[in-house]
Amino acid sequence: MPKLVLQELPAIEAVPPARWNALVGDDHPFLRHEFLHALEASGAVGPATGWVPRHLTLWRGEALVGLMPHYHKHHSYGEYVFDWAWAEAWERAGGRYYPKGLSAIPFTPAPGPRLALAEGVDPGEARAMLAPAWEASALSSWHLLFAEEREVEAWREARPGLLVRHGVQFQWRDRGYGDFDGFLAALTSKRRKAIRRERRLVAEQGLTLQRLEGGEIDAGAMAHFFRCYEITYLERGRHGYLNLDFFERLRRTLPEALVLIQARLHGRPVAAALCLQGARTLYGRYWGSEVMADCLHFEACYYQGIEHCLATGLTIFDPGTQGEHKLARGFAPRRLRSLHHIADPGLRAAIARFCAEERVHVDAYRRAAEQALPFRA
C-alpha cells in the first residue's frame, strides 16, 4: 500500500468537489467543498481578508484519504474563540503573534469534524503527519476550534502538550416531543405561557412566517435576505463578513442544505433568517430585519427552527453562539473545548494559567445555566 503523503493546498479548488465530499459525510454542510469554495471564490476568505488557505490533505498515490481545513490568520476576527488578549500580551513582550495557524470553518461557530479520513487510514498516523505543519513551522501558534468532543480527545491523546480552553454553547434537542405543542408541554407553565404570548405578539403585528427550502429559494429571496443580513451589521457600524456572491454560490451549489425563514408584512418580506441543515442537525446562522417588531427575532430564529426540526425529523438545533435568552426557550448549555499549540514556552505557560482560571468560571456558568432551564422536573 502506498505511504501517506501530506500536501498543503493554497485553495480548495485544487481538489475536485466529489473527492473532497466523499470524506465529509452529509451532516456537516460547513465542511463540504461547496461551502468552503464559496468562501474563497467570493473573496470572503483569502489573503485580502487575512484568511490565507493552507488546507492540509493526505494522499495515498492519487487517492485523497484525509483532509483538514487550515488557514494562516493575520488577525483573530471571525473565529468566536477569541485570543486577542494573548496576541496583545505577546506583542507587548516583543513577540510576533500573527500569522498563526487555524483549523476551523471561517465565520462559523458550529461544532463538527475538522479532520476527515477515509476508511483504513490510521488516525494516529494521520495526526502524526499533520502536526508538523504547525509544530515545525514559523507560526506562533495553532488553534483547533469547534471540533467535536471525540476529535478533541483524540488530539489530546496524540499531542498531550496542546492547551485546552473551555466554552459554552446552547443547543436544542428533540426528546420525542412530536410537535411544537409537545415541546411546550415539557416546559414549566410560566415558560409555556411566555412563549405562546411571544408567538401571539408576532401574529398580532400582522407578521406571517414562511419556510423555504432548496429550490424554493430564488435569487430575489436571497437578495432580500442579504439586505436584512447587512442591516444587522450596519447597525454596529460595519459590513458583514460575507457578501451576496457567497450566499448566491450556496444557493446554486448547495441548495439542499439551505432553509430560509421569511417574515412577511402585508405580503412583502421584511425579515429573514438563513439556516443550514445536515442529516440530523439544523444550524441557525444568519439573521436580519428591515422592521422593528416585538419578539420577531425569537420567532424567526428559534421557534421556526424548532418547528422545522420537529416537522422534518432533525434532532438537534444549533442556533449559534451567545445568549442566555436561549435558555428560556429550551436551548441547553453544552461544553465546548478548543485546542491550542503555543510555540513559545513562556507564552504557553501564561496561557495555560489563563485557561485554568477561565475554566473555573466557565464551569460555574454552565452549571448555573443548567439550573435555569425551563423544563418541568
Question: Is residue 179 located within the same domain as residue 214?
Answer: yes
- Calpha distance 271→319 (Å, rounded): 17
183 assigned to some structural domain: yes
The pTM (predicted TM-score) of the whole model is: 0.96
Amino acid at 71: Y
330 assigned to some structural domain: no
CB distance 177 to 310 below 8 Å: yes
Distances (CA, A) of 67 to 6, 121, 166, 371: 10, 12, 25, 40
327 assigned to some structural domain: no
Question: Is residue 292 located within the same domain as residue 364?
Answer: no
Cis? peptide before 99, omega within 30° of 0? yes
Q: What is the pLDDT along the chain (377 residues), one digit of tens a residue?
A: 789 999 999 999 999 999 999 999 888 999 999 999 999 999 999 999 999 999 999 999 999 999 999 999 999 999 999 999 999 999 999 999 999 999 999 999 999 999 999 999 999 999 999 999 999 899 999 999 999 999 999 999 999 999 999 999 999 999 999 999 999 999 999 999 999 999 999 999 999 999 999 999 999 999 999 999 999 998 888 889 999 999 999 999 999 999 999 999 999 999 999 999 999 999 998 999 999 999 999 999 999 999 999 999 999 999 987 778 899 999 999 999 999 999 999 999 999 999 999 999 999 999 999 999 999 98
**Residue 149 belongs to what H/E stretch?**
helix 149-158
Question: Is residue 292 located within the same domain as residue 339?
Answer: no
207 assigned to some structural domain: yes
Q: What's the total number of domains in the chain? A: 2
The three three-digit cell numbers of residue 329, written as one number: 426557550
* 100-103 vs 141-144, strand pairing mode: parallel
Which CATH number covers residue 227?
A: 3.40.630.30
Question: Is residue 148 located within the same domain as residue 195?
Answer: no
Question: Is residue 198 located within the same domain as residue 287?
Answer: yes
**DSSP string for residues in 16-47:** -HHHHHHHH-SS-GGGSHHHHHHHHHTTSSSG
305 assigned to some structural domain: yes
CB distance 103 to 69 below 8 Å: yes
326 assigned to some structural domain: no
Question: Is residue 295 located within the same domain as residue 222?
Answer: yes
The three three-digit cell numbers of residue 108, written as one number: 462559523
Domain that holds residue 257: 175-314
Question: Is residue 139 located within the same domain as residue 188?
Answer: no
Question: Is residue 185 located within the same domain as residue 130?
Answer: no
Which CATH number covers residue 102?
A: 3.40.630
352 assigned to some structural domain: yes
